[in-house]
């Protein structure tokens, strides 16, 4: 991150750790994906305190850059102008970015919901995209969708949300995680619903309080969020049907997994069945 009068920056890493304190050993409170806008505050050593759209914490200053201004080029030569009001949105859990339009030399990986400006659409298999720090790369067409910046995450049906969730089966649990590399329970449901067109808060208790429609267990249906806890909300999962739910479980299984409330089901989870705090429907 260069010194600059502005406080507006973007995340320059594929996925950046956001910590509670300016210390690599401090708690990982969340993560931020490439090109997410942040407001930078105070600095401490190699760390900068930032405000994300849904959280705040400390990021390594080297993982911040000025906003991307490169856009669609006129041909392949010259300086690219200001970006058009469209972006390439990653729609796969993980997608490689290549150095060139052809070949397998990989530059980095991007993760589900990352949005970046595109530069060139002429290649049949790959799209040339702008990256932070005046860099660029090539990403497979099937890994992204071109969308208006005013509607990066259009509303999709609940089946799309649950399909995104099931694509994460087996992904390791990571406290504070927010990507295919590792994800926690609330980051998991937030990400899936972002891709489905609903922006909900980051933490499970915030999600519970944000959502207004409570659901009886007998009426649970796909897409409902199930909140767990005995003295306070400590976990959240997503219903797949009337009795199964998918969640990023960090106590016994340490991965994204499907469990059930049906005692006859081979994946019945008795402990969670006994501490259901409440069920909320995202779309009333």
The answer to whether residue 265 is catalytic is: no
Closest CA to 134 of 202, 79, 85: 79
**Active-site residue, from 49, 192, 208, 235:** 235
Judge contact between 89 and 79, C-beta under 8 A. no
- Token pair 């949005």 is found at 115
**Active-site residue, from 49, 247, 259, 269:** 247
Closest CA to 71 of 35, 118, 36: 118
Task: Tell me 268's DSSP state.
Answer: B
The answer to whether residue 73 is catalytic is: no
Residues 6+ apart with CB under 8 A from 215: 221, 224, 279, 280, 281
The answer to whether residue 235 is catalytic is: yes
Closest CA to 216 of 239, 199, 189: 239
**Active-site residue, from 185, 208, 259, 269:** 185
- Which residues are known catalytic residues? 185, 235, 247
């Amino acid at each position: 991150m260069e010194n600059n009068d502005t406080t507006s920056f973007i995340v320059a890493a594929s996925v950046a750790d956001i910590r509670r304190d300016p210390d690599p050993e401090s708690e990982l409170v969340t993560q931020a994906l490439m090109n997410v806008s942040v407001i930078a505050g105070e600095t401490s050593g190699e760390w900068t305190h930032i405000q994300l759209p849904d959280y705040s914490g400390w990021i390594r200053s080297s993982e911040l850059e000025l906003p991307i201004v490169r856009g669609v080029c006129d041909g392949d030569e010259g300086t690219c102008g200001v970006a058009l009001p469209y972006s390439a949105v990653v729609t796969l859990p993980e997608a490689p970015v290549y150095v060139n339009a052809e070949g397998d030399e990989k530059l980095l990986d991007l993760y589900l919901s990352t949005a970046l400006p595109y530069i060139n659409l002429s290649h049949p298999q790959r799209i040339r995209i702008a990256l932070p720090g005046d860099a660029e790369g090539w990403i497979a067409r099937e890994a992204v969708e071109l969308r208006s910046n005013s509607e990066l995450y259009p509303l999709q049906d609940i089946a799309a949300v649950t399909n995104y969730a099931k694509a994460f089966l087996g992904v390791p649990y990571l406290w504070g995680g927010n990507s295919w590399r590792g994800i926690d329970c609330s980051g998991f449901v937030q990400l899936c619903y972002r891709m489905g067109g609903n922006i909900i808060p980051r933490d499970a208790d915030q999600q519970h309080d944000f959502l207004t429609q409570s659901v009886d267990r007998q009426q649970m249906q796909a897409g409902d969020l199930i909140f767990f806890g005995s003295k306070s909300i400590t976990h959240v999962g997503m219903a797949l049907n009337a009795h199964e739910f998918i969640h990023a479980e960090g106590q016994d299984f340490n991965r994204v997994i499907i469990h059930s409330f049906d005692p006859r089901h081979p994946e019945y989870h008795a402990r969670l069945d006994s501490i259901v705090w409440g069920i909320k429907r995202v779309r009333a």
